[in-house]
Amino acid sequence: MRQRKHRHKESFSILLISNTGQNARHFHVGASFFRLLTVFILCAFAAFGWLAYHYLSASAAGVEHVNASGVTRESELLDQVVEQEKTIRQMETEKESLNRRIDELTLENKALLAAAKASQSGGTEDRAAAEEAAESDPAIPSRYPYSETGEVLQKYSESYPYVSINTRERGSVIAAGDGTVTFVGSEEDYPLVVEIEHGNGYRTRYMLPQTAEALCEEGEQVQAGDALVRIGGDNLRMDYQVIREGKPIDPLIVFEAKG
């Protein structure tokens, strides 16, 4: 017969004794139970540690995400504030520029109104003075500078500082007032020009854009109504200019038109 080997089993006795001395209990626990208990405890600690690690990692990631979102939002708000400040400064600059332009236009408008009033007043005063002086001074060029009825083709203006008169063959250019002939000759665009100095601040110019015959000479003394130029054909033109104190004025202010 084979001899049976007896396995040696380790066991632990656990005796639970009550403080009162009653109901004492005695347990026998094998070593494998303690090993399983130890493994269970270790697994429990490992699981707890794993859960704690993931929880803390998730919390940290959430905090970082919140912080990053907050920083991004704050940066966007700061950028918007900067852009709005730039827009405000630009609008303030444009407002100042517009205000300056309004002030300039206001001043220009006032100046134009003052100039218009002064011009109107000055023209009235000049006309009145010329009419008063013409009655007593024959040197004032108040005569119509043509012996016949001539149609005014174009009136005086700042850009056209004389009047243009349509002439006829039988008529003559005449002196508008007493004076001295200071020039007889030609100029650009005018084959014949006659100029009279009246000696009282007035000077008259008779300008013919076509060939004509001069009836006076430089240095000659003439009186109002004397013939200066003989017209050589019908429907010709004469440009007549009156200069007072070195500046052209409207001849209608001083001469008396016939017909």
**Domain end point (choices 103, 136, 169):** 136
**Domain end point (choices 136, 162, 187):** 136
Least confident of 105-114, 169-178, 235-244: 105-114
Least confident of 18-32, 92-106, 207-221: 18-32
More confident call, 7 vs 156: 156
Q: Is 154 helix (H, G, I), strand (E, B) or coil?
A: strand
More confident call, 47 vs 218: 218
Tell me the average pLDDT across 178-194.
Answer: 94
Distance between CA atoms of 145 and 167, rounded to whole angstroms? Answer: 11
Size of the chain in residues = 259
**How many domains does the chain divide into?**
2
- E-assigned strands of 5-71? 11-16, 25-30
Tens digit of each residue's pLDDT (9 = 90 or more) over 141-154: 988 898 887 788 88
Domain co-membership, 129 together with 158: no
Residue 89's domain spans which residues? 35-136
Residue 11 domain-assigned (yes or no)? no
Residue 24 domain-assigned (yes or no)? no
Tell me the average pLDDT across 45-55.
Answer: 79
Tell me the average pLDDT across 97-116.
Answer: 74
**In the chain, what percentage of residues exceed pLDDT 90?**
25
Least confident of 52-61, 127-136, 174-183, 200-209: 127-136
Tell me the average pLDDT across 214-231.
Answer: 93
